[in-house]
């Protein structure tokens, strides 16, 4: 791969994380599930991608998210939040708030609209990102930070690109059935370690993983031998916790991410899975490259997420493309604030809006799953609902 070279300090940090992961592999007898590798690569204290100190978002980071593209995204969600809070309570909860840009845009728009808000809670696992959020949001006294989801919550919940960064297990279909692909390690001369896939055998699947495969993968028997895909145990667990939190009161959660419903996810021609990595605005499929310096993601199985939420007591309120949801939520009307005759102001917003809505950009690949309890979504948010495809 032709990717930008890391700085000496960044390379040293990656080598330290490689040694930490290799030690964990050694303690576990020579191999670990990929979900464990992904957990350490992203979240190992002080060294993981999200717990280290490197910038993640924007032009100096590895990728750009919808809130970073335009304030229109957050302004639109502010009006969605207001509609939910009218039916519940004046509280917002955001999970994984990035730089804090989405929170700032929502808070600013709510204030301009005269909407009362008692609290804006952020659950953030990255110390570096939390510090950036605290600096950006220092003028908003309603904001507080939590280390985990509360047991109960009433109001509006947002998560933008949260589910795709949750650890997944990787499985492959063999003549003997589905088996997990584990990760093995070998020390290298540069002071780090090399990692490689290691088939673990059907017996290593265990009842829990086998049940997850059976639940997630429709028509699994028709897929070819050698087929590789992901199962989303951590994501489903998160959805169950989120649903149980909402089921104790009135509220709704909106999860934005890239992915598919199950019957579009597990297609025969998607035979190598959906793992994707992001490093310095380059996307590639190699999860063992420079652990700690790159993001590792998998596309979201929205059917599995919806079922997990439903089983835990929440209602599936809507499922839509990002474009359909934002248009229904009024992003077009907000764009009318800008005068087309003022090209310097208008054109950057128009360009960002095109990226948010275009099927060739984020509009179709990104989806929105809404779950809740005791809430009815405004009709305009249901105009192009695709829940039937889950």
Q: What is the pLDDT of residues 93-114, one digit of tens each?
A: 999 998 999 999 999 999 999 9
CATH number for the domain including 339? 3.40.50.12710
Residue 29 has pLDDT above 90, yes or no: yes
pLDDT band at 53, cuts 50/70/90?
Answer: low
The reply to whether 204 falls in a domain is no
Share of the chain above pLDDT 70, in %: 97
Tally of residues, the chain: 390
CA distance 244 to 242: 6
Is 354 strand, coil or helix? helix
CA distance 12 to 52: 13
Closest by CA to 260, choosing from 77, 73, 386, is 386
pLDDT at 1: 63
pLDDT at 63: 60
The reply to whether 108 falls in a domain is yes
CA distance 315 to 318: 9
The reply to whether 199 falls in a domain is no
Closest by CA to 370, choosing from 165, 215, 161, 157, is 157
For the chain, the domain total comes to 1
Q: Are strands 251-260 and 155-160 parallel, antiparallel or unpaired?
A: parallel
The reply to whether 102 falls in a domain is yes
Where in the sequence is the domain holding 264, given as residue range(s)?
1-169+226-390
The reply to whether 178 falls in a domain is no
> 67 near 101, Cβ under 8 Å?
yes
Encode pLDDT of 72-88 as tens digits.
Answer: 999 999 999 999 999 99
The reply to whether 236 falls in a domain is yes
CA distance 27 to 185: 12
CA distance 378 to 83: 7
The reply to whether 180 falls in a domain is no
CA distances from 214 to 65, 195, 219, 292 (A): 33, 29, 9, 32
Structure tokens at 40: 């350490």
Encode pLDDT of 134-166 as tens digits.
Answer: 999 999 999 999 999 999 999 999 999 999 999
Encode pLDDT of 348-384 as tens digits.
Answer: 999 999 999 999 999 999 999 999 999 999 999 999 9
pLDDT band at 57, cuts 50/70/90?
Answer: very low
pLDDT at 54: 56
Q: What is the pTM of this model?
A: 0.94
Residue 62 has pLDDT above 90, yes or no: no
Q: First-to-last CA distance in the chain?
A: 36
3-state SS, one letter per residue, for 17-81: HHHHHHHHHHHCCCCEEHHHHHHHHHHCCCCCCCCCCCCCECCCCCECCHHHHCHHHHHHHHHHH
Please tell me the number of Cα atoms within 13 Å of 319 on its side-chain side.
Answer: 21
Residue 60 has pLDDT above 90, yes or no: no
Residue 64 has pLDDT above 90, yes or no: no
Element (H, E) at 92: strand 91-95
> 291 near 14, Cβ under 8 Å?
yes
pLDDT at 127: 82
Residue 2 has pLDDT above 50, yes or no: yes
CA distance 306 to 5: 40
CA dihedral 201, 204, 205, 208 (to 10 degrees): 170
Query: Which residues make beta-bridge pairs with 33?
Result: 182
User: What would you measure as the largest C-alpha separation in the chain, in angstroms?
Assistant: 67
The reply to whether 97 falls in a domain is yes
CA distances from 341 to 71, 331, 345, 351 (A): 20, 20, 9, 15
- Spatial CB neighbours of 108, under 8 Å, sequence gap ≥ 6: 71, 74, 75
Give Cα 125 to chain centroid, integer Å. 13
Angle, helices 127-136 vs 101-113, to 10°: value is: 30
Structure tokens at 36: 């464990």
55-77 residues labelled b (16+ CB within 10 A) or e (exposed): ebbeeebbbebbbbbbbbbbbbb
In this structure, is the dihedral angle defined by the CA atoms of residues 297, 160, 263 and 202, taken in order, positive or negative? positive
């Amino acid at each position: 791969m032709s990717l930008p070279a890391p700085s000496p300090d960044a390379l040293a940090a990656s080598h330290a994380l490689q040694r930490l992961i290799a030690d964990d592999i050694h303690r576990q007898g020579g191999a670990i599930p990929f979900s464990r590798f992904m957990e350490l690569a992203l979240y190992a204290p002080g060294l993981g991608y999200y717990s280290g100190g490197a910038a993640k978002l924007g032009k100096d980071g590895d990728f750009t998210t919808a809130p970073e593209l335009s304030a229109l995204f957050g302004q639109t969600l502010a009006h969605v939040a207001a509609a939910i809070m009218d039916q519940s309570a004046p509280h917002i909860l955001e999970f994984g708030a990035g730089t804090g840009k989405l929170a700032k845009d929502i808070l600013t728009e709510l204030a301009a609209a005269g909407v009362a808000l008692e609290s804006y809670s952020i659950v953030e696992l990255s110390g570096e990102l939390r510090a950036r959020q605290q600096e950006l949001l220092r003028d908003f006294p309603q904001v507080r930070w939590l280390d985990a989801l509360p047991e109960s919550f009433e109001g509006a919940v947002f998560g933008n690109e949260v589910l795709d960064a949750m650890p997944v297990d990787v499985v492959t279909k063999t003549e003997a059935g589905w088996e997990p692909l584990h990760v093995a390690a070998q020390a290298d001369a540069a002071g780090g370690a090399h990692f490689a896939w290691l088939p673990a055998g059907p017996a290593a699947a265990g009842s829990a993983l086998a049940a997850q495969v059976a639940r997630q993968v429709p028509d699994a028997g028709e897929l070819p031998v050698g087929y590789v895909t992901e199962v989303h145990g951590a994501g489903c667990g998160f959805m169950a916790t989120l649903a149980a939190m909402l089921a104790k009161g009135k509220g709704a959660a909106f999860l934005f991410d890239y992915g598919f419903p199950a019957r579009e996810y597990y297609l025969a021609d998607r035979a190598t899975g959906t793992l994707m990595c992001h490093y310095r605005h380059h996307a590639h499929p190699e999860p063992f490259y420079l652990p700690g310096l790159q993001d590792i993601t998998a596309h979201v199985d929205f059917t599995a997420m919806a079922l997990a939420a439903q089983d835990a007591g929440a209602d599936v309120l809507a499922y839509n493309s990002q474009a359909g949801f934002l248009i229904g939520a009024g992003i077009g009307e907000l764009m009318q604030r800008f005068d087309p005759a003022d090209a310097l102001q208008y054109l950057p917003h128009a360009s960002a809006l095109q990226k948010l809505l275009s099927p060739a950009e984020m509009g179709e690949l990104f989806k929105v799953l809404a779950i809740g309890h005791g809430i009815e979504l405004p009709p305009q948010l249901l105009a192009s609902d695709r829940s039937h495809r889950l």
